[in-house]
Amino acid sequence: MTFTDLNLNTPLYNALSDLGFTTPTPIQAEAFNVVASGRDMVGIAQTGTGKTFAYMLPILKNLKFSTQENPRVLILVPTRELVVQVVDEIEKLSKYINNRVLGVYGGTNINTQKQAIAQGIDILVATPGRLYDLAVSRVLQLKSIQKLVIDEVDVMLDLGFRHQLINIFDILPEKRQNIMFSATMTQDVDILINEFFKAPERVSIAVSGTPLENIEQTRYNVPNFYTKVNLLTHLLQDTETYNKVLIFVAYKRMADRLFDKLDETFKEELCVIHSNKTQNYRLRSIEQFREGENRILVATDVMARGLDIDNVSHVINFDTPDYPENYMHRIGRTGRAERKGESIVFSTEQEQESIEKIETLMQMTIPVLELPETVEISKELIEEERPQIKERNNPNKRREEDAPGPAFHEKSEKNQKENLGGSYKFKIAQKYKKPKTRGDKNYNKRNKRK
């Protein structure tokens, strides 16, 4: 199948021709007619398979020119980086189409975004939090939304956006087309579909967990953090092979710790991105990595779904993710657009259980490589790797059953006060013959008359 079989219009064909695309990916081919028909749809496809074009091609084909100010298409995505990326993809496809596209997200001046909305838009790409803020402020009117697209919905639910999504559904027009894309089908995703979608058609490309065939996977058994750093440094010395490397770690503190260690050797070749970094810093790091100014990018799992970067030679899992689905999203950053890619995972003894879960999901075994002889095996441990000392026989440490109970004694007679309620102030006034509060200035006058 080619794009000519999808019966697109001339502006879209010209845009695809400029981009050098001739053949749709499986999800683009399968989803086109369903989205174009106006029915609700749930698309399950791995990351890096062209999901943005899968929903935008049929939407743009049927989106007529309009001068109205309120948006007609709403696209919700989980991260700021993904907003920027989706807007960029839509603008590429809209090169010969007269439409207005805007991306909004948190962490930037909301007043600037309000001004842009007031100019009028056709397609709005947003993160849930900022969209709701704009809608509540009444600057953004959602009454004209005809199509709602929720991209990477499993990530949204992982990040705790469920209540925000429900709030957004409540303020959208009831009569609309719902389109949802996810890399994995979880129980939370299924509940959301049953509650808010109307008999959606499901389009699934490849079983969740099936590795992309063009990604070669290998792994190393490594005892601890500092040995992982030594191994990583050894691999990255080969600049010709490891020419564009994305390194994933589990959390922000680990990202900064690894960056500091690698910075000693690689300096200008290195950048880092996680949610504690400022918006400008994050976007600049992605752009420098995308353009090849930096060869190595260290990122956290939250970024795994928000990055679309061509020609990533290697994805290195510095740690083994707890959830096997996260491993799939990580390695999906390489081997994109049918190119060859390589994935390497480092795993300690404590991470072997996670490796087994990943291999069970993929129904394959990841080959284990021997550590190179030149890699020094460190005995130094970071705080998280040190064994926790348990004080089993500490004679000075009380057990719970030995702990003293709550203190109790009878109150003395003078402290057994009665709750007199509202009458208390009148009794005080009668006793002392003076006003209880400053407001009762005429109290003494009234009593003198008596």
Encode pLDDT of 325-345 as tens digits. 778 878 888 887 667 899 999
Is residue 186 domain-shared with residue 79, that is, in the same domain? yes
Is residue 287 domain-shared with residue 379, that is, in the same domain? yes
* Residue listed under structure tokens 């109290």: 443
Do the domain assignments include residue 38? yes
- Return the pLDDT at 214: 84
Please report which confidence band the pLDDT of residue 425 belongs to, taking 50, 70 and 90 as the band edges.
low
Helix (H) / strand (E) element for 358: namely: helix 352-362
Q: Is the pLDDT of residue 144 over 80?
A: yes
Per-residue pLDDT tens digits for 361-400: 888 999 999 999 999 999 999 888 888 666 566 655 555 5
Is residue 175 domain-shared with residue 303, that is, in the same domain? no
When the pLDDT of each residue in the chain is averaged and rounded to a whole number, the result is: 84
Do the domain assignments include residue 405? no
Q: Is the pLDDT of residue 305 over 50?
A: yes
Is residue 148 domain-shared with residue 234, that is, in the same domain? no
Please report which confidence band the pLDDT of residue 413 belongs to, taking 50, 70 and 90 as the band edges.
low
Is residue 299 domain-shared with residue 194, that is, in the same domain? no
Do the domain assignments include residue 262? yes
Angle CA(256)–CA(273)–CA(357) in degrees, nearest 5? 80
Do the domain assignments include residue 371? yes
Enclosing domain of residue 351: 215-385
Sequence-separated (6 or more) residues with CB below 8 Å from residue 162: 156, 188, 192
Share of the chain above pLDDT 90, in %: 51
Final residue before a domain boundary, out of 170, 205, 240? 205
Is residue 56 domain-shared with residue 152, that is, in the same domain? yes
Is residue 79 domain-shared with residue 144, that is, in the same domain? yes
Terminal-residue alpha carbon distance, the chain: 104
- Return the pLDDT at 199: 86
Give me the DSSP letters along 225-264.
HHHHHHHHHHHHT-TTTSSSEEEEESSHHHHHHHHHHHHH
Do the domain assignments include residue 425? no
- Return the pLDDT at 441: 47
Is residue 262 domain-shared with residue 173, that is, in the same domain? no
Do the domain assignments include residue 284? yes
Please report which confidence band the pLDDT of residue 89 belongs to, taking 50, 70 and 90 as the band edges.
very high
Return contacts of 433-439, CB within 8 angstroms, 24+ apart.
none
Return contacts of 94-102, CB within 8 angstroms, 24+ apart.
94/15, 94/60, 95/11, 95/14, 95/15, 95/18, 96/10, 96/11, 96/12, 96/14, 96/15, 97/11, 97/12, 97/15, 97/60, 97/63, 98/65, 99/60, 99/63, 99/65, 99/123, 101/125, 102/71
Asked whether 57 and 12 are in contact (CB, 8 A), the reply is yes
**CATH number of the domain bearing residue 229:** 3.40.50.300
Asked whether 233 and 265 are in contact (CB, 8 A), the reply is yes
Tokens of 361: 């999901």
Final residue before a domain boundary, out of 385, 402, 436? 385
Q: Output the CA–CA distances (angstroms, integers) from residue 418 to 48, 220, 403, 414, 421, in the order listed.
A: 73, 74, 34, 10, 9
Is residue 31 domain-shared with residue 180, that is, in the same domain? yes
- Return the pLDDT at 376: 94
Share of the chain above pLDDT 70, in %: 81
Phi first, then psi, for residue 124 (nearest 5°) are -115, 125
Q: Which of 38-42, 201-205, 223-227 has the lowest mean pLDDT?
A: 201-205
Is residue 378 domain-shared with residue 276, that is, in the same domain? yes
Mean pLDDT for the stretch of residues 418-435: 58
Please report which confidence band the pLDDT of residue 186 belongs to, taking 50, 70 and 90 as the band edges.
low
Do the domain assignments include residue 449? no
Q: How many domains does the chain have?
A: 2
Q: Is the pLDDT of residue 146 over 60?
A: yes
Give me the DSSP letters along 292-308.
TS-SEEEEEGGGTTS--
Q: Which of 159-168, 228-237, 420-429 has the lowest mean pLDDT?
A: 420-429
Is residue 153 domain-shared with residue 245, that is, in the same domain? no
Please report which confidence band the pLDDT of residue 439 belongs to, taking 50, 70 and 90 as the band edges.
very low
Q: Is the pLDDT of residue 431 over 90?
A: no
- Return the pLDDT at 261: 94
Please report which confidence band the pLDDT of residue 435 belongs to, taking 50, 70 and 90 as the band edges.
very low
Q: Is the pLDDT of residue 313 over 80?
A: yes
pLDDT, greater one: 107 or 269? 269
Is residue 198 domain-shared with residue 223, that is, in the same domain? no
Do the domain assignments include residue 224? yes
Final residue before a domain boundary, out of 347, 366, 385? 385
Please report which confidence band the pLDDT of residue 322 belongs to, taking 50, 70 and 90 as the band edges.
confident
